[in-house]
């Protein structure tokens, strides 16, 4: 088992002319593995292949990708595996070499510390001063250009928050820095509907469960100010409630606890980390 593979071989570096490094010309997925299995693999793979189609990249064999991710994850505990597909090297500036094969990078890291406390006690949320661009052709993709999120994370730290809510330049709520969002507004669970941000596989899975009643709608600052509860969700950390938003206390109530239990039970997600 190797925790870092490049094109299937153990390694920890790529050429300095890799287009992912030079231009952010890559896609990635961050996947939860439990005892060598990834409950959301099919959804991750579908999003990755969709992104390859948008960017004009040839995806690798799914079996090769899965085997490499399982090798990095191991089979004895829970690990987080990131698979990155770059357009490789070559080309002329922004014009890639159409014959250059895609480069596969697989990395594994330990399961995050402190998730049980975050899921139980919640997060201090703040409103980011960074605005996301709207209307991008890359909307929904997990692509390599994440500078907006880097700036938002810096802003969040400066405000003393654990996570931040991001709006676009049209004042529509989009997502958190590294998660999708669920808000309880007028006793209805709502997720933001916007033409930017990442189409999260964890949120997709949750919305597909028959027991959940989640609607997608445009959410403004004014709407968010009326929310009684806010939850952040991604495929690794699961569902974490907000305990405050910009200093305003939030409720951690039954909707959150119900969805957390559903997540843990059906996705075999460890709750004691």
Q: Tell whether 157 and 62 lie within a shared domain.
A: no
Q: How far is the C-alpha of 166 from the C-alpha of 174, rounded, in Å?
A: 6
Q: Tell whether 40 and 79 lie within a shared domain.
A: yes
Q: Tell whether 253 and 227 lie within a shared domain.
A: yes
What contacts 269, CB < 8 A, 6 or more positions away?
A: 32, 34, 39, 238, 263
3-state secondary structure of 175: strand
Q: 131 lies in a domain? A: yes
Enter the pTM of the model.
0.94
End position of a domain, from candidates 59, 84, 111: 111
Q: Tell whether 186 and 77 lie within a shared domain.
A: no
Q: 272 lies in a domain? A: no
Q: Tell whether 100 and 166 lie within a shared domain.
A: no
Q: 241 lies in a domain? A: yes
Q: 258 lies in a domain? A: yes
**Per-residue confidence (pLDDT) for residue 270, from 0 to 100:** 65
Torsion over CA: 112, 116, 117, 118 (sign): positive
Q: What SS3 string covers 9-32?
A: EECCCCCCCCHHHHHCCEEEEEEE
Q: Tell whether 97 and 125 lie within a shared domain.
A: no
Q: Which domain holds residue 32?
A: 4-111
CATH number at residue 137: 3.20.10.10
pLDDT in tens, 192-228: 998 888 999 999 999 999 999 999 999 999 999 999 9
Q: Tell whether 85 and 175 lie within a shared domain.
A: no
What contacts 261, CB < 8 A, 6 or more positions away?
A: none
Q: Tell whether 172 and 257 lie within a shared domain.
A: yes
Q: 67 lies in a domain? A: yes
Q: Tell whether 91 and 180 lie within a shared domain.
A: no
Tokens 């509907």 sit on residue: 193
Q: Tell whether 137 and 8 lie within a shared domain.
A: no
Q: 80 lies in a domain? A: yes
Total residues belonging to the chain: 273
**Per-residue confidence (pLDDT) for residue 153, from 0 to 100:** 98
CATH number at residue 41: 3.30.470.10
98: tokens are 């159409």
- In the chain, the number of structural domains is 2
Q: Tell whether 141 and 206 lie within a shared domain.
A: yes
Q: How far is the C-alpha of 181 from the C-alpha of 178, rounded, in Å?
A: 10
Averaged pLDDT in 10-residue chunks for the chain of 273 residues: 87 95 97 96 98 96 97 93 97 94 96 94 98 90 94 98 96 96 97 90 96 96 97 97 98 95 86 49
Q: 37 lies in a domain? A: yes
End position of a domain, from candidates 54, 78, 111: 111
**Per-residue confidence (pLDDT) for residue 76, from 0 to 100:** 84
Q: How far is the C-alpha of 7 from the C-alpha of 70, rounded, in Å?
A: 14
Q: 44 lies in a domain? A: yes
End position of a domain, from candidates 111, 135, 167: 111
Q: Tell whether 102 and 170 lie within a shared domain.
A: no
């Amino acid at each position: 088992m190797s925790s870092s593979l490049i094109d299937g071989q153990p390694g920890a570096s790529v050429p300095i002319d890799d287009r992912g490094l030079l231009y952010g010309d890559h896609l990635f997925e961050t996947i939860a593995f439990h005892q060598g299995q990834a409950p959301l693999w099919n959804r991750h793979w579908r999003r990755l292949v969709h992104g390859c189609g948008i960017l004009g990249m040839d995806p690798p064999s799914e079996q090769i990708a899965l085997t490499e991710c399982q090798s990095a994850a191991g089979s004895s505990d829970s690990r987080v595996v990131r698979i990155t597909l770059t357009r490789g090297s070559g080309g002329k500036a922004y014009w890639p070499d159409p014959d250059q094969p895609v480069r596969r990078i697989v990395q594994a890291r330990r399961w995050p510390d402190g998730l049980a406390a975050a899921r139980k006690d919640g997060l201090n949320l703040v409103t980011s001063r960074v605005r996301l661009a709207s209307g991008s052709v890359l909307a929904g993709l997990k692509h390599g250009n994440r500078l907006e999120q880097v700036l938002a994370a810096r802003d969040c730290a400066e405000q003393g928050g654990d996570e931040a809510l991001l709006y676009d330049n049209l004042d529509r709520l989009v997502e958190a820095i590294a998660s999708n969002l669920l808000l309880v507004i007028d006793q209805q669970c709502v997720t933001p509907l916007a033409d930017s941000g990442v189409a999260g596989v964890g949120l997709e899975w949750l919305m597909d469960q028959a027991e959940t009643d989640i609607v997608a709608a445009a959410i403004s600052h004014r709407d968010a100010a009326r929310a009684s509860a806010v939850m952040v969700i991604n495929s690794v950390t699961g569902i974490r409630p907000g305990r405050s938003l910009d200093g305003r206390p939030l409720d951690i109530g039954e909707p959150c606890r119900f969805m957390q239990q559903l997540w843990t039970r059906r996705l075999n997600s460890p709750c004691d980390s």
